[in-house]
A and B are shown apart, each in its own frame.
Chain A
Amino acid sequence: MKTSARIAGLGAALLCCAAAPGSGNPYVRVPGNPRFQSALLGDQAGGVAVADFAMQDHPVTNAEFATFVAAHPEWRRGAVAPLFADSAYLTHWQSLDAPGEPLAGQPVTRVSWFAAEAYCEAQDARLPTWAEWELAAAADTTQQDARGDPAWRQAVLDWYSRPAGALALVRQSPANVYGLHDLHGLVWEWVQDANSLMSSDEAQKFCGGGALTLRQKENFAVLMRVATLTSLKPADTTRSLGFRCALGFRCARGLS
């Protein structure tokens, strides 16, 4: 899994802003927040600083991931070392390099953190950080921070309790206030710092419940995400875990 040579400076900025490889899944600008009240990170008074960024419109689909696999055969099912993806990696695809028609427009799942990282890097992008993802996902269709809204919370929790069936296609639900689709209600998503969301000490506190140090305890929906991500190892894949890519400030500035 050698990474391709980096294109330095302005060239990279232009390239990633053009978003050529992700043209079917464009990068949508999300304004940052110097004092974002994360349920997990930063201190309660100051929050955590999140710079402007951009994030893909919807989770990466099977068809989009197949394009990447075709260009990077080392990421084909069976070719990837077990160190980087477990044995369930892409096992739902019809063949080694093609998902098959019913899956094409569904979010890709059964992908490891390493695979998601490699996909985004091939686009000159990266996975969103937890803070970026949390900020983007705090919005509903009309407000940037809907987390205090009981209706929003209930809608998110309803998805968690829905029985897992076949995945829907992407973009079937309305976009949030930034224009992003499917942050809730479709799949879990890898984040760049999934491996570092909690130290083991903090994880124990979380599991202990009574000693919960996470803020906004009522924001159970967020805590479900954190618990899910921290229970995974970076080579793990699951049938409901996908991802989307993000770009940093310099690239995000060039977008509308």
Chain B
Amino acid sequence: MRTRPFLKRLLLLAALSCPPLAPAQGPLPPDSLYQLGARLTTQDGAPAGLDLHRGHPVLISMFYGSCPAACPMLITAMQAYESHLDEASRARLRVLMVSFDAARDGPAQLAGIAKLHRADPARWTFSSAPDNDARRIAALLGISYRRQPGGEFDHSLLITLLDAQGRVLASTSKLVGDTDFQARLRAATN
């Protein structure tokens, strides 16, 4: 199907007036995490890939919904890191939380967590991944977790900053005051 000249001009105009941060299509660099064909389910019940925020800098971490203390702290910490950005930078940033407890963290549970933390739904995505994909995502990020007999998880807390193509720029296990990480975040969203 040929594009009509008018539509073509309109598209060109649109492209010029709001340039994308980075290409959200085309081949991925060899060190991009987005090469992993993981199958996420979001709080809206929609299927998504790890690359759903491709084109934007992304903060990504893993958690589980019924986590009593550590995960709420993790989410709060990520909100604190983004709160130090100016408004324009923050608007460019996306946040992806991946639960490794897909059995219990269905869309309704995830939506509840998003609401509880007043996470900006336009920029924050809460999702869960099936066991095999969760293991792979954790392996790529360097996050370790283990299900305990009672249904709790032992897991490491790690926040990772990805560039628009899914490459790791920086990561931190400090929930507060990692000034180097904050600086990297600022640079990536500028």
Contacts and interface: CB of A to CB of B under 8 A. Distances in A.
User: Do A and B actually bind?
Assistant: yes
Interface of A: 1-3, 41, 49, 81-84, 113-114, 117, 121, 126, 192-193, 195-200, 234
Interface in B133-161: 133, 135-136, 138-140, 142, 144-146, 149, 154, 156
A81 B35 contact: yes
Contacts of B37: 1-3
A44 B63 CA distance: 28
10 contacts: A2-B37, A49-B149, A81-B31, A83-B31, A83-B32, A83-B35, A114-B139, A193-B146, A195-B142, A196-B146
Interface residues on B, range: 20 to 34
B138 A196 contact: yes
A81 B132 contact: no
B73 interface: no
A129 to B, nearest CB: 10
A81 B30 contact: yes
Please provide the 7 A-B residue pairs with the shortest distance between their CB atoms, ordered closest to farther: A196-B144, A2-B37, A234-B139, A195-B139, A196-B146, A81-B35, A81-B30
Given A81-B30, A81-B35, A126-B132, A199 B139 contact: no
A236 to B, nearest CB: 11
B13 interface: no
Given A196-B146, A199-B144, A114 B136 contact: yes
Given A117-B136, A195-B139, A196-B144, A1 B35 contact: yes
B67 interface: no
Nearest to A194: B139
A1 B36 contact: yes
Given A83-B33, A83-B35, A3 B132 contact: yes
Contacts of A193: 135, 146
Contacts of A49: 149
A195 B132 contact: no
Most buried by A among B133, B138, B144, B156: B144
Nearest to B149: A49
Interface string B107-132: 00000000000000000000000001
Given A3-B132, A49-B149, A117-B132, A195 B33 contact: no
Contact of B138 (A83, A114, A195): A195
Most buried by B among A81, A83, A198, A234: A83
Contacts of A196: 138, 144-146
Contacts of B36: 1, 83
Contacts of A197: 144
Nearest to B144: A196
Contacts of A81: 30-31, 35
A197 B146 CA distance: 8
B38 to A, nearest CB: 9
A83 B132 contact: no
Given A3-B132, A193-B146, A196-B146, A113 B139 contact: yes
A252 B39 CA distance: 27
A10 B36 CA distance: 28
Interface in B160-177: none
